[in-house]
């Protein structure tokens, strides 16, 4: 470590364009060689791929994140790290109340609406 500190260099690397949301989906696209300015479609297609769902150009996929809200504010980004089984039960309930979508249960708090 002393050698690296003495002989190494450090710098800033900007991985998220100014006109895109500063999220991990944009940054990971950049790291994987995908140009976010040209190909960014949001998190939905990434969530679909992560659970083995193939999409066509006509498909719309929306990432659905379960959160905890308290008094109109975000209290927890992961719904208390909800279990996948608990999330599957909730996803069936929300689809019953939203007639025009299908839900694919993902892992823990991350899911997909299409």
pLDDT, tens digit, 9 for 90 and up, residues 1-52? 899 889 998 888 887 888 888 888 888 787 778 877 787 777 888 788 888 8
Do both 34 and 59 map to the same domain? Answer: no
12 and 34 assigned to the same domain? yes
The answer on pLDDT for 98 being more than 60 is no
Asked if residue 47 is part of any domain, the answer here is no
Is 0.85 surpassed by the pTM of this model? Answer: no
- Please name the residues in contact with 26: beta carbons below 8 A apart, sequence gap of 6 or more: 15, 16, 17, 20, 36, 40
What is d(CA 78, CA 68) in angstroms, rounded to the nearest whole number?
Answer: 7
45 part of a folded domain: no
Return the pLDDT at 72. Answer: 94
Range of the domain at 66: 53-114
């Amino acid at each position: 470590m002393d050698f690296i500190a003495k002989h190494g260099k450090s710098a800033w690397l900007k991985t998220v364009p100014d006109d895109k949301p500063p999220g991990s989906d944009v940054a990971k696209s950049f790291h994987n060689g995908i140009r976010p300015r040209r190909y960014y479609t949001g998190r939905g297609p990434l969530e679909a791929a992560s659970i083995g769902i193939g999409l066509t150009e006509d498909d719309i996929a929306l990432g659905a994140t379960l959160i905890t809200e308290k008094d109109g504010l975000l209290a927890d980004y992961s719904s208390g790290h909800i279990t996948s089984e608990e999330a599957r039960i909730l996803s069936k309930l929300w689809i019953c109340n939203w007639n025009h979508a299908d839900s694919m249960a993902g892992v823990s708090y991350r899911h997909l609406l299409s």
